[in-house]
């Protein structure tokens, strides 16, 4: 990509919705090609798209649980049920 990762700013006017569709996989065909090509050359749109993709990935990632924490939680639940 040609965009500057340090460039801040909003995406180009009228492209925010298409960039959102690109990030979540709804964009198809010539529109997808156009937005990908544009985002590769426009620092504002490229950074916006990258941030959207990272946000969506984080939001849809399965949470990881520490086995020890899970066991402690189960023990606390059992204690509460025993007192209950």
pLDDT tens-digit readout, 7-63: 678 999 999 999 999 999 999 999 999 999 999 999 999 999 999 999 998 888 777
User: Do the Cβ atoms of 72 and 80 come closer than 8 Å?
Assistant: no
Residue 5 included in any domain: no
* pLDDT score at 12: 96
Half-sphere exposure of 83 (CA within 13 A, CB side): 6
Q: Does the structure show a pLDDT above 50 at 64?
A: yes
How many domains does one find in the chain? 1
Q: Which residues are CB-contacts of 8 (< 8 A; sequence separation ≥ 6)?
A: 47
Domain of 56 in residue numbering reads as: 16-83
* pLDDT score at 1: 47
* pLDDT score at 24: 94
Residue 31 included in any domain: yes
pTM for this structure?
0.67
* pLDDT score at 66: 76
Helix/strand/coil for 36: helix
Helix/strand/coil for 16: helix
């Amino acid at each position: 990509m040609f965009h500057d990762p340090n460039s801040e700013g909003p995406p180009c006017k009228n492209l925010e919705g298409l960039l959102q569709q690109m990030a979540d996989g709804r964009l198809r065909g010539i529109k997808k090609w156009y937005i990908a090509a544009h985002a590769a050359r426009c620092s504002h749109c490229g950074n916006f798209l990258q941030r959207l993709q990272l946000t969506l990935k984080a939001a849809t990632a399965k949470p990881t649980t520490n086995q020890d924490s899970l066991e402690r939680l189960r023990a606390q639940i059992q204690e509460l049920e025993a007192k209950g």
